[in-house]
Amino acid sequence: MALLRTEKVCKRFGTLEVLKNIDMSVEQGEVVCIIGPSGAGKSTFLRSMNQLETITSGKIFLDEELFLHRENNVTISRVEQAEYKRLLLEMGMVFQAFNLFPHKTALENIMLAPINVKKMSKADAEELCRGLLDKVGLAEKADEYPIRLSGGQQQRVAIARALAMDPKIMLFDEPTSALDPELVGEVLSVMRSLAESGMTMVVVSHEMGFAREVANHVIFMCDGLIAEEGPPSMIFSAPENPRTRQFLNSVL
Amino acid sequence: MSSQNKKPARVNSRLRVACIVVAAILVIGAVMALVKPPMSDLVERIPEEMVDRAGANYSQTEYNYLIFNIARGRNVRTAESDTYIGIFGMVIQINDGFPAKLANMLFWLPALLSGARITISLTIVSMLAGVFLSVFLALGKISKIKLISKPCSAYIFFFRGTPLLMQLFFVYYALPMMSTALTINDKFTAAFVAFALNNAAYCAEIIRAAIQSIDKGQFEVSHALGLTYAQTMRLVIIPQSFRRLIPPVANEFIMVLKDVSLVSLIALSDLTHTTRSINSSSSSVLVFIPAMIIYLVITAFFTFVFNRLEKRFSVYQ
């Protein structure tokens, strides 16, 4: 059963077509990596999954339920409001720029949404969030403000914050692109252990090593289209599309 | 860690010096207060003969300050006067020259201070009301709903686009002519209404700018975490904009403090109005000196308070 599925998703900014009929399906427990040159529409696609961008046309299914259907910039159908909010929370998102709340400590950053959105009690939330901080290896940084954490630590807090809402799918939008090279490893290892624990993940990334080793499915996007997709072994060792080959040659 | 550890140490040593200075001033003050001659000693010195000569025109002023006493007998008609100051256990007569001028300022001080009290309280209450109103105006102006954003923009446009003095005159003189329900007889209340309304427009723009300067990613992550718009504003955006708000709001506060002098034109006895009255009744220009010093002291005090606030809210930056 597909957890997240899109049908003919298109996105236009004015006359610029960023996404052209994207079909994608993510199964429970699957790790999908989206790779491709910049400007290919990878981030826009990911962002339109949890409604940070509004698609021009296409259908998005969550849990095999039609979440959103739009044609020509008009919403044809959308799940009712309560369900919409619930389904949105099934997707946790991690951003390239971390976007931690600078006025909250690491622990408060993670606790904010469970307390205010899930109406969890403060004690329960604290227990949950300390556990998550421990999981990303930052238990001793609970009371630090983001400014005093390294980029890698900030991104790990951001991952814990997204996990605190207990999502079914984690969306990663270039999670390591803003990091110094020596800090990339710690974030990738957290993501790797998350994948091993069975989390469904969609990762937009330039980390080819991660895509090759962790992903079950790799999508190569180019000019708003899925140029090629398949298991990493196929994409990385025997790409069929010349654009894929050209891209992989330039990054590897 | 090291930079955080050094800072309190420096603050502590400065705090210690400040404490010593304050303690020294308090001790000297206490001694002076104990040894100041009683008021009766001063009043006794005023010659009977002068009192008799002035007759009905005689006026006597006594001011009891914490560390000294001052008394003056005066013939109001001829402006002949006899002034005594009691300080350090001594009674000194000061009738001419520089000391007499200085003593004059001391006699003006109570009136000036009560004027300053009006200036300060009007500034604070109109600023508080203005900031409170402006939060709604700012949120209204950035609202996507036109029915809310347009009126808020119009309000800001109107109050920033017309002179504050005109708005004050309108509230105090024109509103009572329009309706008895809108009549504000109390000068202070009228001034408060005009200043609060005007202030709200300026602060709204400050708040709007502060909110819009917050990184877009903060809105995005709040959306992704399922926060509502109101929660995003209350928990994420507004707390972050606080620190950015303090410098322009402090600036606005000091502007208002000085703009409040406009109330002298509806004859509310603020510091400026009091100064002008003393100036015309005593025909002395010297009164402007203590008046301006009082303004400077008030400004310095509030600048200090706002700087402290700014530091307080900078912990995470």
Cβ within 8 Å, pair B224-A117: no
Q: Which two tokens stand for residue B174?
A: 């024109």
Q: Which of A102, A113, A145 sits opposite B226 (nearest CB)?
A: A113
Give the span between the Cα atoms of B283 and A250, in whole angstroms.
87
What residue of A is the nearest CA neighbor of B218? A99
Are A116 and B221 a contacting pair at CB < 8 A? Answer: no
Q: Which chain B residues in 37-66 lie under 8 Å from chain A, judged by CB atoms?
A: none
Residue A196, CA atoms < 13 Å, CB-side half-sphere: 8
The vertex-A13 CA angle with A10 and A15, nearest 5°, equals: 95
Q: Which residues are paired to B73 by β-bridges?
A: B60, B82
Using a cut of 0.90, tell me whether the model's pTM lies above it.
no
- Asked if the Cβ–Cβ distance from A101 to B317 is below 8 Å, we say no
3-state DSSP: chain B helix, strand, coil percent, rounded to 5?
75, 10, 15
Minimum CA–CA partner of B313 in chain A: A103
CB contact (8 A) between residue B240 and residue A51? no
- Average pLDDT taken over every residue of chain B: 88
Find the residue in A nearest to B221 (Cα). A99
Nearest to A85 among B226, B239, B240 (CB): B226
How many angstroms separate the CA atoms of A238 and A241, rounded? 9
Extract the residue ranges of chain B whose pLDDT is less than 70: 1-11, 315-317
Task: Output the pLDDT for position B317.
Answer: 64
Q: Note whether B217 contacts A: Cβ–Cβ < 8 A.
A: yes
Provide the shortest C-alpha distance from residue B312 to chain A (in Å).
Answer: 12
CB atoms within 10 A of CB B76: 12
The 10 Å Cβ neighbour count of residue A65 is 10
Identify the CA nearest to A159 among candidates A48, A86, A151. Answer: A151
- List of chain A residues with pLDDT < 70: none
Q: What is the pLDDT of residue B9?
A: 56
Name A66's bridge partners: A61
Angle CA(B306)–CA(B310)–CA(B313) in degrees, nearest 5? 135
Separation CA A171–CA A49 (nearest Å): 9
Q: Which residues of B243-257 are buried (b: 16+ CB within 10 A; e: fewer)?
A: bbbbebbbebbbebb
Q: Which of residues 278-317 of B touch A (CB under 8 A)?
A: 315-317
> Among A101, A117, A146, whose Cβ lies nearest the Cβ of B236?
A101
Task: Tell me what pLDDT residue B11 has.
Answer: 63
- The pLDDT value given to residue B193: 94
- pLDDT at res. B3: 45
Task: Look at residue B118 in the predicted model and tell me its pLDDT.
Answer: 94
The answer to whether residue B9 neighbours chain A at the CB level (below 8 Å) is: no
The pLDDT score that the predictor gives to residue B66 is 83
Joined together, the tokens standing for residue A27 give 């199964």
